[in-house]
Amino acid sequence: MPLRPAPAPPRRLRNQVALVTGASRGIGLAIARALAAEHCNLILTGRDQSALNKVSRELASAKIKILAHSCDLRDPHSVDHLFRAIRGEFKHLDILINNAGIAHANLTVDNLPLPLWQDVIDTNLTGTFLVTQAALPIMKRGSTIVNNLSIAASRVFTGSAAYIASKHGALGLTNTLREELRPKGIRVIALMPGATDTAIWNTFWPQAPRKKMMSSATIAAVVVNAILLPPNATVETLEILPTAGIL
C-alpha cells in the first residue's frame, strides 16, 4: 500500500491572539500548548519571566508570534504594564484565558491568617477582575473569555475557605460578565475542573492521590474545543471531573 503523507496539522485558530495567565506551568501551560497547536498567537504571563521564556522557546516550533511578559496580576500597575506591551505587539485580543491562581495550606477559618486570605482573594478574584477590565477594550465581537474557576466555585471543602470564597466570587464575576457581554457577542465560559494533576496540590494536600486526577492536557483539549464552536454557540459552564469522582 502506498504511504500517505501525514495529515496537515490543525490550524483552526490561525491569526487569532490569546492571552493566557499562569502560562508557566500546570493547566495554563497545557492550554498554551493546545492553542499553539491550533496556530494561535500567544501572550504568556505569570510572575516568573525565566519560566515564561522557557515555555516560549518550547512553543517556538509552532511558528506563531509569542509575547512572554511577566506580570503579577495582584498589582494594577503590573497589569497596566502588561497591557501596554500587548497593545504594542498586537492590535486586539481574541481569547482571554484567566487561569492564574493559587491555593493555600489546609487551615480552618479560625486559624487562617489575614495576609493569606488577602493573597488568595487578590490573586484569584481581584487579579481576574483587573486582567479582564484591561482586556475588554481590545476584545471585539466573536471573542472568548475563559475563566478557570474550579468545582470549588460551586462546592465547599473544609480548610480551604479563602480558596473557596475566591472561586465562588469569581463565579459571580463570570456570570455577571457573561450577561454584560452577551449583547456584544463576546462569549464567557466558566471553566470548572475537578482534581487535575498540577503543582497546586502541593500547597494544601501533597499526598493527594495523583493517579486518580485528570491531566492538564485533558482540560486544555476541552477548552480549545469550546473555543472552536461557531461564534453563535457557547458552552457557558465546563464542569470536568475525574471519572473516579471528587477526591
> Which residues lie closer than 8 Å to 98 by C-beta, 6 or more apart?
21, 127, 128, 131, 132, 145, 146, 147, 148
What's the closest the beta carbon of residue 165 comes to ligand NAP, in angstroms? 13
Q: Which of 28, 42, 90, 121 binds ligand NAP (CB under 6 A)?
A: 28
Would residue 181 show up in a list of annotated catalytic residues for this protein?
A: no
Q: Which is nearer to ligand NAP, 12 or 84 (CB)?
A: 84
Cβ–Cβ < 8 Å for 237, 138: no
Does 95 help bind ligand NAP (rule: CB under 6 A)? no
Does 242 help bind ligand NAP (rule: CB under 6 A)? no
> Which residues lie closer than 8 Å to 215 by C-beta, 6 or more apart?
30, 196, 197
Order of strands, sheet of 17-21, starting from the edge strand that comes earlier in the sequence = 66-68, 41-45, 17-21, 93-98, 139-148, 187-193, 237-240
Q: Which is nearer to ligand NAP, 9 or 245 (CB)?
A: 245
Q: Which residues in 203-232 contact ligand NAP (CB under 6 A)? A: none
Q: Which of 34, 62, 100, 130 binds ligand NAP (CB under 6 A)?
A: 100
C-alpha cell at 176: 455577571
- In angstroms, the CA 16 to CA 228 distance is 12
Q: Which is nearer to ligand NAP, 123 or 132 (CB)?
A: 123
DSSP letters spanning 10-31: P-TTTT-EEEEETTTSHHHHHH
Stretch that binds ligand NAP, among 47-55, 135-143, 174-182, 220-228 (CB under 6 A): 47-55
Q: Which is nearer to ligand NAP, 73 or 190 (CB)?
A: 73
Does 48 help bind ligand NAP (rule: CB under 6 A)? yes
Does 236 help bind ligand NAP (rule: CB under 6 A)? no
Secondary structure class of 39 (helix, strand, coil): coil
Q: Which residues in 149-168 contact ligand NAP (CB under 6 A)? A: 150
Q: Which is nearer to ligand NAP, 16 or 196 (CB)?
A: 196
Number of other CB atoms surrounding residue 243 within 10 Å: 6
**Which residue of the set 163, 178, 220, 222 is catalytic?**
163
Q: Give the residues lining the site for ligand NAP (CB under 6 A).
A: 21-22, 24-28, 46-48, 51, 71-74, 99-102, 123, 148, 150, 193, 195-196, 198-200
